[in-house]
Structure 1
């Protein structure tokens, strides 16, 4: 019987044939261990796919599907929505397009957004908006399905050929500063200018009217499964998409656990039990990697500074996790366990553009951050963010926003005029189960005792002092209540 929570390699290492056949019991044990280990690796390597399928299925179960449906978090995304490391300090709009069902699609992107279009490996087809070819002026994008052999494509579009039929549309619009806090009306109005329609429906009267449901405050689970259901979703994807959408080596690994294109995925009860055990273990392995500072190269942002605990979200890799001579599978797995969507603007160092996300699991003493303690994060004067900065707290295991009754958005951002600066232009941001004496309400993020958290500092439009490290955030300091 294979162990439920982990591989028994140490036990099986002693099973040697010594010139004789394996016993039937040992052979069966080894075959089950082989199946288990394959399933764990398939889970970790296919995370980008099933991660985005979780988003799609959760969204479409609540708001419906179709190229014309674009849910917008019109009052900001909050902890009611279970997605990995969402950004509460911009306005989200997310949709899921199917080029097999609808053929080539035209997307009229509105001006002033920061967005992306990705395939279902979450490989960017293009940045859109401020970091894209329309440079924030708005533009016409044409999504073309894999293997397209239809009429010649017309000019006048930014043409994007997707290797998967499924495509993720992810728009972000910016908050504006209001007297009572950040406001969303201007950004929502921009997002609602999006128009999507099939290329070969030239008459606008035939287009499905765009729908922009308000997703804010909606209880919706958009996380990927952490049980054997993961493999069922993966099998559906494998059967739907073209062969070329998945590397043959990974297809071979999938085939060894019964996932093959054109064949039903029907594991028996024993193999289903092993798949379920593998799916429970695999994300824990990724969490173990993620919470180990040097688990892969270049993770520490500030190697020359004393006691700096900040991690780099894209250390020595591009947006597809290519690290020069290899694909960083460890980094890919840790990223998609607690996050989603990667684009060139996130990985490249663009002074005044894109965004950077220093994050930490630890306080200055190297202890895990916990909601039972009180902490202060000191940001030195002039935080290097041309657009805005924000501090947000997440569950360290699945990346969802922490949930505290009465506080649905566990974040502080510089667009909020109520956030108080120190006389020298620095900021102190506080976390803890109660507000420290003298701290401004807007500078405090409540936490739950008994729950750990991941803290992320977002810098939108990072300036040169971030890149030359003449500005470095302090570590998170534990303090007395």
Structure 2
């Protein structure tokens, strides 16, 4: 390696200035996005080469950050369950209370979550016994691609059944016909579902009938352990700084490399992150990684909270976006995979199933996101807002409006200990059947039941969910108002 490529500790600005206009050895200066680059004829000046490589490293780190968001998200979540909550591979975590869900990115505050991570390196093929009942869930790989839905939008259609999860490359056993097959492309998987029955006792009984165990132990399966956070704090939000890359390096060691990811693996290798090798970045690599994770997250925020996907805006005269713009849970279109739609969704949310992108009236869920008020201004926790939900919302089951913290993308952690308003609550209605929802630091007098407390000095965003959306949602004959500032 040339000596100039080993120089570190300089800022890009200072280096570009030192090799730009006024450097006597240069024949010309190339004016670029990076500033003036010293040139020697058609070539960059020798003392400009290091800056160009530094820019390349930075760009690789930034793109790798955005690419890895879904993988790091699940790896972080899995590690928090293991290290802070004591969950082992194959255990189920029941997240029911407000505090339980504070670590879940854009959690639904209305229904309980039942979730477990399984390392197929440890278990081999995995059997899941899904009980009958009103549930929505599925099995996903660690790139957050849905492998198979379970429950009402799965092949069991809410009637229950046995599923068999196969690790990458594993052939189905002779008795595979007894199961719904789920072939994973990663060794680690998430198994999860939500109970949709509003009766807590029925929901609890359903969860207790769930079974998950290695196929090799099917003759005498052990009972599945059900755990709860028990008040312990945890966070599934992707870490920042070098911790992001450490988490990525760790999960890469456990997973096969998909063919579509080999060029990204090449970029990571130049930054010191490789499969089957320790992570010990040098000063040059560390600097690029630290800068890349910082700028990468800023780009992720723009890509998420100010979407530029052509069909993201649901109504042309409203600020509401479709938050899930991945056309199919495989993330694959005819000629490319949806990298930027994937990055947006898995920065602000977790999991993806076919039920979450259902276009069949009466099945699945839909998600609309509001990041701004009716004038396009970010939602400010120090201001007061109103949202009018028109009469007859198009939801066969129920609707909910949930407030999230921008920084964590999790439920707002407010003194009120409440983040959502829904049709399952006793909300005050207007004479025409519409409902006014309020958001701000203080409740409007007499409307406390219709209010979520926001935090001054912090911004927020919201999801409006429809469970079992009806035709009026899909044909857009029903329209949701924008969030509007009020005094």
Structure 1 length-normalised TM: 0.90
Correspondence 1:203-218 to 2 at 5 A? 203-204=219-220, 207-215=221-229, 217-218=231-232
Larger strand proportion of the pair: 2
- Number of the residue aligned with 1:419: 427
1:370-401 deviation digits (Å, cap 9, x = unpaired): 11111111011011111110010012243111
Q: Which has the higher contact order (CA 8 A, sep 6+)?
A: 1
Residues 316, 323 of structure 1: 8 Å contact kept: no
- Number of the residue aligned with 1:179: none
- Number of the residue aligned with 1:375: 385
- Number of the residue aligned with 2:210: 194
Q: Is 1:457 aligned to residue 445 of structure 2? A: no
Identify unmatched segments of 5+ residues in structure 2: 1-9, 18-31
**Separation in 2 of the partners of 1:253 and 1:462?**
42
Q: Are the structure 2 counterparts of residues 96 and 2 from structure 1 closer, same or farther at C-alpha, using a change threshold of 3 Å?
A: farther
- Number of the residue aligned with 1:256: 270
Identify unmatched segments of 5+ residues in structure 1: 177-182
Q: Secondary structure at the match of 2:150?
A: strand
**Separation in 1 of the partners of 2:253 and 2:260?**
11
- Number of the residue aligned with 1:408: 417
- Number of the residue aligned with 1:63: 85
Q: Is 1:238 aligned to residue 252 of structure 2? A: yes
**Separation in 2 of the partners of 1:469 and 1:355?**
15
- Number of the residue aligned with 1:227: 241
- Number of the residue aligned with 1:289: 303
**Separation in 1 of the partners of 2:129 and 2:93?**
16
Q: Is 1:279 aligned to residue 279 of structure 2? A: no
Q: 2:123 aligns with which of 87, 102, 120?
A: 102
Q: Are the structure 2 counterparts of residues 255 and 421 from structure 1 closer, same or farther at C-alpha, using a change threshold of 3 Å?
A: same
Q: Is 1:18 aligned to residue 26 of structure 2? A: no
Q: CA deviation at 1:151?
A: 5.4
Q: Secondary structure at the match of 1:155?
A: helix
Q: Is 1:130 aligned to residue 165 of structure 2? A: no
Q: CA deviation at 1:320?
A: 3.8
Q: 2:404 aligns with which of 367, 371, 394?
A: 394
Residues 72, 188 of structure 1: 8 Å contact kept: no
| Structure ID, larger Rg | 2
Residues 338, 397 of structure 1: 8 Å contact kept: no
Q: CA deviation at 1:292?
A: 2.3
**Separation in 2 of the partners of 1:291 and 1:448?**
19
Q: CA deviation at 1:3?
A: 5.4
**Separation in 2 of the partners of 1:13 and 1:96?**
51
Q: Secondary structure at the match of 2:463?
A: strand
**Separation in 2 of the partners of 1:51 and 1:478?**
34
Q: CA deviation at 1:39?
A: 0.9
Q: 1:142 aligns with which of 121, 145, 164?
A: 164
The farther-off stretch of 121-130 and 250-259 is 250-259
**Separation in 1 of the partners of 2:38 and 2:162?**
62
Q: Secondary structure at the match of 1:169?
A: strand
Structure 2 length-normalised TM: 0.89
Q: CA deviation at 1:310?
A: 0.3
**Separation in 2 of the partners of 1:388 and 1:345?**
15
The farther-off stretch of 128-137 and 106-115 is 106-115
1:237-286 deviation digits (Å, cap 9, x = unpaired): 22222234762222222222222222222211342232122112211111
Q: 1:435 aligns with which of 436, 443, 446?
A: 443
